[in-house]
Amino acid sequence: MSQLQKSWQARISEATDAIAQEFVESMSYDWRLYKVDVAGSIAHATMLAKVGLITDADRDAIVKGLKEIEAEIDRDGPKWAGFKPELEDIHMCVESALTERIGEPGRKLHTGRSRNDQVATDLVLWICDTTHSLGRNEFDAITRAFVDLADRNRDIVMPSFTHLQRAQPISAGAEALTWASAFINALQRFYAPWMAKSVEWPLGAGAIAGTSLPIDRSESLWLVEQRAGILAHDEIDVSRSSIESTATRDIACDFLFALAMTAQWLSRWAEQWIIYMTTEFGFIRIADRYTTSSSMMPQKRNPDMLELIRGRCGNVYGDLFALMTILKGLPIGYNRDLQEDKRIVFRAYDTVSSCLTMAAAIVNSASFDKERIEPTLDRGFLDATSLAEYLVTKGIPFRTAHHIVGTLVARCEREGMHKLGQLSVDAFNEVIASSLAHAKSDATIRVTDEVYSCLGAHNVVKRYQSAGAAGGKPFEEQLKAWKERLGL
């Protein structure tokens, strides 16, 4: 049999049409599975030797040959001479090169397995490796960038927004930590399937029904677990059904969902900062190297990198739905449609990975513009909730206090005032007395000049006490915890 013949060629009488051959090949993109393909094959060969299906000498030749092939691909990448389109995919390219190199032992490697369980195994291992890599690299970088931004801007007070209307004053550092928290939570979604033990080990499931040979699937799993960075023990078990384990792509869907959620948070952050960079807001400045200008309007400073991050979120959503749509109509068992999973998964991963890297670079260049923010703090009655809560400490029920402050805000607007602190103590007490009498509450409650201590954005931020609050001691505790966690 020619080394370039396909593994199934004996059954088919005609050579594959050139157009069809080009149509079915996946090697052009699945070559990036080579490390996990080698790892799975080494584990499989080691297991075969242990159960006596191949000799120790066969195993040693296979392992040596596979490691040599891995080193060559490390060096040459997609230009490795062993990547031959007529062999269709990474699995056959590696096996063919191995057999050319070591002869008969190479033909024994596929004992007790099919490309169906082999590709499913490679996908499990690649997703696991990639998840760990994302945590160590891209997510770590963006989290550090936001925590550093929080530290640099811890003393700046700014408005927060609900309904895109001014809400309560916050520390700018607290908003930065919000994004750090969001991305850490996004990272946890990648680990969720492993923690839930919903990922199963497919190697040895064969084409669909298993094998009559006495293989030990637990042994191959254990051997792969020894590979640094692959899996933590007790997070994965041998699949319960050989039929299901070659047909499922649940782990790919889970991975894509985690990527889509990460893209969502990237898009929301980008949108926020695009708004903050407008002339109307002017809250954030980023380095010019992450902006562009206009071909017609020379004054423009456009946040194109942020806009592209926002836009690419839609591509990742599309990838998630693409795989879900492919899967929805497949009968149980392997179908060639599943070859498309890797094209989709790799594309979504590449998009999110590059966006995370770009986002971290932007954040590292950014600063909140205190000179632009500070003059705006007296607009929008940001201290209204603080005043209501102060009245609660005086014994006024919150709903009554809420009504009192709403009345005071309306009075300010009628009288041309733009902040509650412009009202006199007598004005406060007049509205308090009227509201308490109407509510049939304790009508003797009054305030003194102390009321002004809860007014003004800076005073409000200092008064926050609840865990996780966006200012005061809770924010400082959050920042300290983040810095300790990241070793900053």
DSSP character at residue 10:
G
Give me the half-sphere count of Cα atoms (radius 13 Å) on the Cβ side of residue 126: 22
Which single residue is written with the structure tokens 């039929």? 243
Name the token pair of 476: 């400082």
CB 191 within 8 A of CB 255: no
CB 418 within 8 A of CB 412: yes
Distance from C-alpha of 376 to C-alpha of 276, rounded to nearest angstrom = 13
Q: Which residues are catalytic?
A: 163, 294
CB 241 within 8 A of CB 217: no
C-alpha 344: how far from chain center: 16
Q: Are strands 284-285 and 367-368 parallel, antiparallel or unpaired?
A: antiparallel
Distance from C-alpha of 86 to C-alpha of 6, rounded to nearest angstrom = 8
Which single residue is written with the structure tokens 């009321």? 451
Tally Cβ neighbours within 10 Å of residue 27: 20
Q: Are strands 200-201 and 237-238 parallel, antiparallel or unpaired?
A: parallel
CA neighbor of 95 nearest in space, from 33, 35, 38: 38
Measured CA to CA in angstroms, residue 228 lies from 132, 151, 223, 425, 461 at distances of: 11, 35, 11, 68, 46
Distance from C-alpha of 29 to C-alpha of 390, rounded to nearest angstrom = 62
Distance from C-alpha of 152 to C-alpha of 381, rounded to nearest angstrom = 27
